[in-house]
Amino acid sequence: MDVKFDKTGSIETRTIEECSELIHVLCKAERFGWTNYHPEDEYQVPNYQLAINEINDLDRRLLELKIKLMEFGPSTPISQPQENLADSSQAVQQLKAEIAKKLQWYKQQQCDGGLEVDIPSVIDDLKQLAAIE
């Protein structure tokens, strides 16, 4: 994800774009192998690492989209009757807990050096989305 385009377009458009980038990398990996890399890539980043990076980018966008959709009300499985819906505040608390868990994971990855993602930016965005310290 190029940081200069981080907030360009709607969250829906950004999510679609990240889905297409993941699809592209998965197709490359399927065709050329997980450990292969583009012959013109001076850093020789293997396809599996590109896929992990795109999954992380998509994960971030999906969280943003989920938060936007939560503004319309709590989520519920389609098979669950409408009268059994949790109240909106409970659903938001569950989402915040999920974001806090992902935030911990990103912080651990930052310490381990395991991701080629702008981790401080991701952490700041997740904190802002979840309104947590």
At residue 78 the predicted structure's pLDDT band, cuts being 50, 70 and 90, is low
Contacts of residue 44, Cβ cutoff 8 Å, sequence gap at least 6: 37
Retrieve residue 54's tokens. 């795109």
pLDDT the model gives residue 133:
42
Cα–Cα distance between 96 and 90 in angstroms, integer? Answer: 10
Q: What pLDDT is attached to residue 85?
A: 46
**Which structure tokens are listed for 31?**
């065709």
pLDDT band at 92 (very low <50, low <70, confident <90, very high): low
Residue 132 in this model has a pLDDT that exceeds 60: no
| Res 81 pLDDT > 90 | no
Give the whole-angstrom CA distance, residue 131 versus residue 97. Answer: 11
Domain residue extents for the chain: 9-73+85-130
Residue 2 burial (C-beta neighbours within 10 Å; 0-12, 13-18, 19+): exposed
Select, from the ranges 5-9, 22-26, 75-79, 97-101, the one with the highest average predicted confidence (pLDDT). 22-26
Higher pLDDT, 14 or 92: 14
Are 25 and 57 within 8 A, CB to CB? no
Q: For position 84, what pLDDT does the model report?
A: 44
pTM: 0.63
